Copies of this chain bind each other. A is one copy, B any other.
Amino acid sequence: MTAYAELAAHFGRISALSNALGVLHWDHAAVMPKGAAETRAESVAQLEVLKHGMLVDARLGDWLDEAEADDGLGAWERANLREIRRIWTVETALPSDLVAASSKATSACEMAWRQARADSDFKSLLPLLTQVLVLQREIGRAKGEKLGLSPYDALLNDYEPGGRSAAIDVAFDDLAAFLPAFTEEALAAQARRPALPALDGPFPVEKQRALGLKMMEALGFDFARGRLDVSTHPFCGGADNDVRITTRYDEADFTSALMGVLHETGHALYEQGRPQAYMSQPVGAARGMSLHESQSLLVEMQACRSREFIGFAAPLMREAFGGSGPAWEPETMWRRYTKVARGFIRVDADEVTYPAHVILRYRLEKALIAGDADLADLPALWANGMRELLGVTPPDDARGCLQDIHWPSGGWGYFPTYTLGAMTAAQLFDSAVRAEPDALPGIARGDFRPLLAWLRENVHEQASLLTTDELLTRATGRPLDAGVFKAHLARRYLDAA
């Protein structure tokens, strides 16, 4: 066997473990009885230990050196080696006592966070969150040394390979300068229109589910390789060729669960569209979190909150729930689905105000990792940032700096990918509808095939062959450009309002 073949076989075995873990994770969230929690934790921990052991296998370094010297490899094989080296470098960067200390600190902090959030008491969380932060700095430093990156960029790199804060700063500063005034304008435009009539429920879960399934089918979700289920926190997970999305239903309001299904379907289409030949190899994985989020937001924000899609979907909603009256008119439904409101909570935000929530968190976590901000000042820094970026002041910590699980659970460097994803989505969608003249008319008749064909070719089937920048440049003619996102917002919230 060549060194490349050894590596490919080895990572195929690792993928078999990852797929098992993916199904166990879905099971835990969607169907597992509560009393199984301890048993499950032991199974998952054992599989993680075995997987980690395979990722730091002593033979990998030699295989990599030998395979990288092999000049008979094609582009996919070379890209696979690049990904394997990145994963191996990161996985071997940390001493095992640092991994253990961080795992212990985050699980203690995550537990304390649930209570602190319920009590809206940041101070009680401060000692444990400080431990997490100190360890995250160490992790960032250790990885950064191996990768030649700053600690923050090294953390970011785990979620967004190739992502750099210098570039994010430029894009986010641009948005931060644009959004406050724009939000004012969008709200003013909205205020000139009549109030939205109420949608009277209840909307039975079974009917919501049936409608969600119908929409997933229209979008091109492959049910032979996936499922729709229920969980408290919606996600897209599962395994290769076994892509499982979840939602949660509210019988008083169907609109949010339905749009949640469409959002997760965007993630799922990416996963289902990855190339079969490399499905179990690192190069066959989704490129990074910003591209992943771009696929969910392209479906949700760009395609499914368009007038075209709502024109198709509103009659199906009315039919599904036996609705009648002006609340069910496509134009009214479109206005409901494009409503802008300043709020305190990121996950409830609309696409105009969402970036402010993300920019705030990105700036804070970058400063905290660099030691340029003091964690004890977080509530005040949070309130200042919210006022500056969004013009609101959170009434308490629960609706402020305690609302997200990311920091307590060790997810530092993740936040910027949400808004990078939104910008990427706008840019890809803009190119898709130019390249495929039938993409928008297709959406208007519930036929996503023209759009999906473009996404398959330009994004999904590329998997991790290229860097994110290369992929975007090839697909749209240029690297990430905040201008397309701003133009999209202006068209939807000023011109079209």
Contacts and interface: CB of A to CB of B under 8 A. Distances in A.
B24 A20 contact: yes
Instruction: Count this chain's copies in the assembly.
Output: 2
For A15, A33, A225, A279, the residue with the greatest tally of chain B CB atoms inside 10 Å of its CB is: A33
Interface in A439-497: none
A227 to B, nearest CB: 6
B222 A36 contact: no
Nearest to A239: B39
A34 B225 CA distance: 7
Contacts of A15: 42
Contacts of A227: 31, 33
Contact of A47 (B20, B32, B242): B20
A16 B46 contact: yes
Secondary structure at the A interface, as helix, strand, loop or mixed, is: helix
B34 A19 contact: no
Given A242-B32, A242-B33, A45 B27 contact: no
Contact of A39 (B40, B45, B47, B240): B240
Contacts of A39: 19, 239-242, 279-280
Interface in A239-283: 239-242, 279-280
Interface string A33-59: 111101110111111001000000000
A7 to B, nearest CB: 16
Contact of A42 (B16, B35, B223, B224): B16
A153 B97 CA distance: 50
Nearest to A225: B35
Contacts of A33: 223-227, 242
Nearest to A227: B33
A56 B59 CA distance: 23
A17 interface: yes
For A50, A240, A242, the residue with the greatest tally of chain B CB atoms inside 10 Å of its CB is: A242
Interface string A185-229: 000000000000000000000000000000000000011111100
Interface residues of A, number: 38
A8 to B, nearest CB: 14
Contacts of A223: 33
A23 B42 CA distance: 13
A27 B225 CA distance: 14
A224 B35 contact: yes
Contacts of A20: 20, 24, 43-44, 46-47
A12 B101 CA distance: 23
A13 interface: yes
Contact of A19 (B43, B222, B225, B280): B43
Given A39-B19, A39-B242, A239-B43, A224 B24 contact: no
B24 A42 contact: no
A152 B175 CA distance: 76
Nearest to A279: B39
Given A20-B20, A23-B27, A27-B27, A224 B34 contact: yes
A68 B44 CA distance: 31
A43 B24 contact: no
A48 to B, nearest CB: 11
Contacts of A46: 13, 16-17, 20
For A16, A223, A240, the residue with the greatest tally of chain B CB atoms inside 10 Å of its CB is: A16
Given A17-B43, A36-B225, 8 more contacts: A17-B47, A20-B20, A20-B43, A23-B24, A31-B227, A33-B226, A36-B240, A38-B241
Interface of A: 12-13, 15-17, 19-20, 23-24, 27, 31-36, 38-40, 42-47, 50, 222-227, 239-242, 279-280
29 contacts: A12-B42, A16-B43, A16-B47, A17-B43, A17-B47, A19-B39, A19-B40, A19-B42, A20-B24, A20-B43, A20-B46, A20-B47, A23-B23, A23-B24, A27-B27, A31-B227, A33-B223, A33-B226, A33-B227, A34-B224, A35-B222, A35-B225, A36-B239, A36-B240, A36-B241, A36-B242, A39-B279, A39-B280, A43-B239
Q: Which 7 residue pairs are nearest across A and B when measured between Cβ atoms?
A: A36-B242, A16-B46, A35-B225, A35-B224, A20-B43, A16-B42, A16-B43
